[in-house]
């Protein structure tokens, strides 16, 4: 789950020209970057659904930069995050105790809260009638896919949603994503200029979603 969120955020940032970013306190060998430090996990209320409600949690990141050379990039990331409906940005002074615990000097920073949804398997009990009626739904499985453009090149940072899932996910640098879906689910893929609907292939196979250039 943690690696999956890291890949999503990396792809989201790269699609907006906000690269490089890092998710470790270790210095990067290739220079300066904007840094995401995971500080905590917060509860979220379950969404309203007719089926079994998925588990939901928020990842709280402290966003800083490794040095002043990427401070402008961190500002662009802040503006982009404030425009994302799924993200929540918190501004304000960081407690001195936190800087002391991290071993960093006080510096410009903001908190980014990223929602994560974990679907649960549904179990359907028979109705208590004279004749037992078994009701089942299509099985939901973990599917992996890739979003490409008209030339077959990966599309990073594409926004992907499924009816009933609640929260969006984003493709990583290689255009890949993974989510739990049923065969009948409609998957909505959006970029700044394109919007397509796709369904998981049957039988399960490599799932590639092309974004054709607008006419």
Which secondary-structure segment (H or E) carries 211? Answer: strand 207-211
Tell me, yes or no, whether 46 lies in a domain.
yes
What is the Cα–Cα distance from 154 to 36, expressed in whole angstroms? 24
Beta strands in 85-175, from DSSP E residues, in sequence order: 88-90, 110-118, 141-149, 159-162, 169-170
What is the predicted pLDDT for the residue at 79? 92
Tell me, yes or no, whether 45 lies in a domain.
yes
What is the predicted pLDDT for the residue at 195? 79
In this model, does residue 135 exceed pLDDT 50?
A: no
What is the Cα–Cα distance from 94 to 100, expressed in whole angstroms? 11
Tell me, yes or no, whether 129 lies in a domain.
no
Residue-range definition of the domain harbouring residue 72: 2-118
Percent of the chain with pLDDT over 70: 77
What is the predicted pLDDT for the residue at 60? 92
What is the Cα–Cα distance from 151 to 105, expressed in whole angstroms? 46
Task: Kindly state the average pLDDT of the residues 161-181.
Answer: 78
Tell me, yes or no, whether 57 lies in a domain.
yes
Q: Terminal CA-to-CA distance of the chain, rounded, Å? A: 38
Structural domains in the chain (count): 2
Nearest to 137, CA basis, from 184, 207, 85: 184
SS3 14: helix
What is the Cα–Cα distance from 170 to 83, expressed in whole angstroms? 15
Longest alpha-carbon distance in the chain = 73
What is the Cα–Cα distance from 159 to 157, expressed in whole angstroms? 6
Least confident range from 4-8, 22-26, 128-132, 197-201: namely 128-132
What is the Cα–Cα distance from 83 to 87, expressed in whole angstroms? 8
In this model, does residue 210 exceed pLDDT 70?
A: yes
Question: Which pLDDT tens digit goes with each residue over 80-127?
Answer: 999 988 899 999 999 999 999 989 899 999 999 998 877 666 665 554
Residues 99 and 145 in one domain: no
| Model confidence pTM above 0.85 | no
Residue 62 binned pLDDT confidence (cut-offs 50, 70, 90)? very high
* CATH code of residue 71: 3.30.2000
Residue 49 binned pLDDT confidence (cut-offs 50, 70, 90)? low
Percent of the chain with pLDDT over 90: 16
What is the Cα–Cα distance from 77 to 90, expressed in whole angstroms? 13
What is the Cα–Cα distance from 158 to 148, expressed in whole angstroms? 10
Residue 164 binned pLDDT confidence (cut-offs 50, 70, 90)? low
What is the predicted pLDDT for the residue at 34? 87
Tell me, yes or no, whether 175 lies in a domain.
yes
What is the Cα–Cα distance from 192 to 211, expressed in whole angstroms? 12
| 88 φ, ψ (degrees, to nearest 5) | -130, 125
Highest-pLDDT range among 4-8, 95-99, 123-127, 156-160: 95-99
Q: How many CA atoms lie within 13 A of 33 on its CB side?
A: 19
Estimate to the nearest angstrom the gap between the alpha carbon of 105 and the chain centroid.
30
Tell me, yes or no, whether 125 lies in a domain.
no
What is the predicted pLDDT for the residue at 154? 87
């Amino acid at each position: 789950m943690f690696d999956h969120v890291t890949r999503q955020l990396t792809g989201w940032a790269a699609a907006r020209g906000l690269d490089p970013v890092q998710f470790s306190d270790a210095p990067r060998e290739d220079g300066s970057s904007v840094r995401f430090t995971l500080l905590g996990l917060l509860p979220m209320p379950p969404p309203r659904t007719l089926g079994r409600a998925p588990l939901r949690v928020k990842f709280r990141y402290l966003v800083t930069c490794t040095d002043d050379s990427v401070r402008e990039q961190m500002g662009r990331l802040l503006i982009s995050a404030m425009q994302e409906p799924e993200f929540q940005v918190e501004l304000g002074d960081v407690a001195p105790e936190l800087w002391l615990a991290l071993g960093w000097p006080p510096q410009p920073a903001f908190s980014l809260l990223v929602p994560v949804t974990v679907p649960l398997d549904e179990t359907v009990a028979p109705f208590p009638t004279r004749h037992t009626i078994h009701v089942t739904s299509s099985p939901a499985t973990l599917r992996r896919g890739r979003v490409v453009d008209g030339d077959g090149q990966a599309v990073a940072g594409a926004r992907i949603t499924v009816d009933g899932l609640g929260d969006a996910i984003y493709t990583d640098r290689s255009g890949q994503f993974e989510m739990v879906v049923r065969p009948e689910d409609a998957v909505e893929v959006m970029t700044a200029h394109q919007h397509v609907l796709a369904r998981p292939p049957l039988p399960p196979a490599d799932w590639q979603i092309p974004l054709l250039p607008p006419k």
